[in-house]
Structure 1
């Protein structure tokens, strides 16, 4: 009987010692090593494909980041940005530093030697730009991508209408006859320089990471050297289906995409009118040129010029359906 009593006594004494130690630990002030900052969010690059509703979504994303009290960093500025270090975001469009090589070089080092700790990046970028965020903040979750795809015929028609609204656009100086959608469609397919610009299979080009589409900087064009082919399409499809793109959306169902975006950012879900109010609409054309109003020949030419994008878009719809619309 003595052994159990001794064990009981030892247990009581051990418990008392542990309790006293815990009390002393609670009374000890935290050191700098104990006071670690909260973990940063998983870095995200929003690939803004022209005329997919990306401007509206970029503004919506900015509003969401504002709700997260996320600090904006104007890349290339000499002065460090004030604000918290919880998260930092940047928008790569529009701006004078839109040349991607210059942008990556500046952001990787930072102006005046400071580090640019980017968590979120949006703009006319291509698959592969995550190397920037991974380099600036190592030892955390890998950077991922998100984007929105659009029916290729509707997208290229919308792009043409944007060119007309932006006239005199530099492209029209290369194709002065492109004042009608019919001439525009023919010009894309006739083997001239216009086929090597950002009008041909843009969505495939962006998601493949190959020969990223040329942007306009101070009215200058940088030509895309690679034409989209079946191999580029396969790379785009593989990237879209990979873990590097945890969610994406379709222009034709923006509310669903906004819900996925909110969930990724960790924002509470919004319902009904509030959700609609959170979607900022910008850069929308005032008048519509319906794809259904195109002549059969023009429609055929436009679809031919976007052949890889047509396959990519159909693949994206099947992928969304296979994921139960939760991509």
Structure 2
């Protein structure tokens, strides 16, 4: 009876602490329960806000269109399997490079193929670089044409006059990929690989002037063209990415695919999803001085600052180039090159201005993601077009050495048949039956090329 009465305490007595010995226990219990519910609700709201804000911030900087196919640890493992060369010794800016403005304003700074000048080509993937380099060795009218051998990719481009073995051209089809597959400006110029190679081949101490050149392309079509290239089987695994004397380690540059399998057949969404895909903003990266941003180590600098430095460096190096062309304006590019260098091609570059990226179906959402991934290249290309127009106007005002009319030019580079039964007298001036098909073959098997 006493127990039942104690359990049925009137509400009026609960409001009077002095009237019930149970009040001391009931108040803390009630307060603790409310406090727990409030804390739980606050945590849930905080978690939801954190997830939302994180997604928003990723949309601004690092959001990936789809989940990467492989985990970060797997991609690091792939990079470990990649064969990387370490026989690279940098020396900074030991030779002079000649800019466009200097060539235009100083007659003594014009390119002299018979002297010690060297034309160096920075070959950015899918920018018409292959076509331009082939024109340099096959369709350039000079006194001593490059000697190309059938079924071999490299040509010998010796200086005119005498028996000199010096080369005037540092490119894929002359010296080969001696600084690594598609070596960038950091590898070629900043780390002085060009110097190292030529001094080893031709003797140290020779005074040379370098005329750096390149080609650029609309970033969106270039990116899609690279995707098509990779989906056909290319990977550029032989690229070294040397910077400050060493290649990037697996933590700095993981691979997006298993090198034992490759990336052939990759979808555009998967191509976009890998955060370590160097196709994004490739032109900016390949023209920038990467030593300014700790090379491929992205942990030492905030992303916005890093991107800004790379973009400004790429613009500065673009201005310092002797020449750069635009794939979308091949005729103008050819006009500028011929008058700036005092040389002439025997064919029109625009005849080879063809692309397989134009028939790639891209949804509006995917296009938005491609633009986000290539924001730096888009800004760099807009700057390049404006600078290109300024250079064209300068050249028209200043005037340059007269280019001989085409009928009076000597024959272009010739091919030699080195087969056992080949007749050399009949093989000169033989060109490939279909240069477009040959370029596609080079494009597909570029990774397998190795040069001594």
Give the secondary-structure state (helix, strand or coil) at the position aligned to 1:40.
coil
Give the match's secondary structure for 2:209: coil
Q: 1:252 aligns with which of 323, 328, 331?
A: 328
Q: Are the structure 2 counterparts of residues 72 and 229 from structure 1 closer, same or farther at C-alpha, using a change threshold of 3 Å?
A: farther
Assess, with a 3 A threshold, how the Cα gap between structure 1 residues 211 and 124 changes in structure 2: closer, same or farther: farther
Asked if structure 2 preserves the Cα contact closer than 8 Å seen for 1:73 and 1:88, the reply is: no
Partner of 2:290: 210
- Residues in 1 aligned to 2:163 and 2:147: alpha-carbon distance in whole angstroms: 10
DSSP 3-state at the match of 2:278: coil
| Contact 2:137–2:173 (Cα < 8 Å) also in 1 | no
Q: Equivalent residue for 1:311? A: 379
Higher relative contact order (CA 8 A, sep 6+): 2
Q: CA separation in 1, counterparts of 2:377 and 2:215?
A: 13
Aligned to 1:126: 184
TM-score (structure 2 length as normaliser): 0.44
**Secondary structure at 1:46's aligned position in 2?**
strand
Q: 1:199 to 1:288 in 2, by over 3 A?
A: closer
SS at match of 1:88: coil
Task: Tell me if the contact between 1:201 and 1:305 (Cα under 8 Å) persists in the aligned partners.
Answer: yes
Q: Give the Å deviation of 1:142.
A: 2.9
Give 3-state SS (helix, strand or coil) of 1:179's partner.
coil
Q: Root-mean-square deviation (CA), in Å? A: 4.2
| 8 Å CA contact retained: 1:70, 1:84 | no
Among residues 215, 223, 226, which one is paired with 1:159 in the alignment? 226
Q: Which runs of 5+ in 1 are unaligned?
A: 1-37, 104-122, 213-222
Q: 2:119 touches 2:170 (CA, 8 Å); kept in 1? A: no
1:125 positional shift = 2.6
- 1:54 Cα deviation (Å)? 0.7
Q: Which moved more, 1:151-160 or 1:250-259?
A: 250-259
Deviation at 1:281, TM superposition (A): 3.5
Give a deviation string over 1:237-276, Cα, whole Å, max 9, x none: 011113xx122111101122122332344225x6xxx542
Deviation at 1:324, TM superposition (A): 3.3
2:309 aligns to what?
231
- Judging changes above 3 Å, is the alpha-carbon distance between structure 1 residues 48 and 166 closer, same or farther for their aligned structure 2 residues? same
**CA 1:92–1:246 in structure 2 vs 1: closer, same or farther (change >3 Å)?**
closer
Aligned length: 237
Give the Cα–Cα distance (whole angstroms) in 1 for the partners of residues 116 and 234 of structure 2: 41
Pick one of 377, 383, 391 that aligns with 1:323: 391
What secondary structure, in the 3-state scheme, does the structure 2 residue paired with 1:162 have? helix
Rg (Cα) greater in structure:
2
Deviation per CA, 1:212-251, whole angstroms, max 9, x where unpaired? Answer: 9xxxxxxxxxx95558611111001011113xx1221111
Instruction: Measure, in 2, the Cα distance between the counterparts of 1:305 and 1:154.
Output: 13
Residues 173-188 of structure 1: matches in 2 within 5 Å? 173=258, 179-185=266-272, 187-188=273-274
Residues of 2 paired with 1:149 and 1:321: CA distance? 14
Task: Provide the rounded CA distance (Å) in 1 between the counterparts of 2:319 and 2:268.
Answer: 34
What CA distance in whole angstroms lies between the structure 2 residues aligned with 1:95 and 1:248? 19
Give the Cα–Cα distance (whole angstroms) in 2 for the partners of residues 312 and 200 of structure 1.
Answer: 13
Q: What is the distance in 2 between the residues matched to 1:199 and 1:306?
A: 9
The one of 278, 288, 295 aligned to 2:363 = 295
Kept after mapping to 2: 8 A contact 1:126/1:209: no
Question: How far apart, CA to CA, are the structure 2 residues paired with 1:97 and 1:258?
Answer: 23
